[in-house]
């Protein structure tokens, strides 16, 4: 009878150890999936700047060029702003006051394209010198992770315009 009790005790510890290992592996898998999703969004957001810069250079080097361009962003991006003049930032009513203040700092540091999330600035970069009509700011709401713009070379200056739908 003693052997039976001892084997039951060993079996109990094996079950407990198995449960702990399964939970640990499950935790690692979930953590990996979350990290992979975050990396995918970062890569998508970085790709947009590469694509914008490439298209800007193409339009800039082709006199009289006009291109309608479509871009895909990650789902966490709610808005993209193209800024060619710093005084327009105060007129952006769809941003929070913190986002406006951060945008001023970002633009003064040389970045002129800013990606906005729900409450924060996700990323920013300089794609080259361009002009935006009106007050110098063009902010586009992102719908279905897509946005479209027109880039136009007019007398060797690149103009970025909103597509009127």
Tokens of 88: 């327009």
Check residue 1 and give its pLDDT.
45
What are the sequence ranges of the domains in the chain? 35-162
Q: How far apart are the first and last CA of the chain?
A: 84
Instruction: Give CA–CA dist 78/130, Å, rounded.
Output: 22
pTM of the full structure: 0.73
For residue 103, the model assigns a pLDDT of 84
For residue 8, the model assigns a pLDDT of: 66
pLDDT of residue 2: 52
Enumerate residue ranges in the chain where pLDDT < 70: 1-9, 165
Q: Which tens digits make up the pLDDT trace of 39-81?
A: 777 777 778 888 999 999 999 998 888 999 999 888 888 889 8
Contact partners, residue 18, CB within 8 Å, separation at least 6: none
pLDDT of 151 reads: 93
Q: Do 152 and 158 touch, CB atoms closer than 8 A? A: yes
State CA 158 to chain mean position distance.
23
3-state helix, strand, coil in the chain (%, to 5): 45, 25, 25
């Amino acid at each position: 009878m003693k052997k039976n009790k001892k084997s039951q005790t060993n079996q109990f510890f094996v079950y407990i150890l198995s449960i702990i290992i399964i939970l640990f592996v499950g935790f690692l898998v979930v953590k990996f999936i979350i990290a992979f999703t975050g990396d995918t969004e970062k890569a998508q957001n970085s790709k947009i700047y590469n694509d914008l810069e490439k298209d800007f250079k193409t339009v800039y080097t082709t006199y009289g060029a006009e291109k309608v361009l479509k871009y895909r962003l990650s789902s966490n991006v709610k808005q993209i702003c193209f800024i060619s003049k710093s005084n327009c930032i105060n007129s952006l009513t769809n941003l929070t006051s913190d986002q406006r203040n951060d945008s001023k700092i970002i633009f003064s540091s040389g970045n002129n394209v800013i990606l906005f999330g729900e409450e924060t600035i996700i990323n920013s970069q300089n794609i080259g010198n361009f002009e935006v009509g009106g007050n110098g700011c063009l902010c586009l709401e992102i719908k279905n992770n897509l946005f479209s713009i027109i880039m136009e070379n007019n007398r060797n200056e690149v103009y970025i315009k909103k597509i009127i739908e």
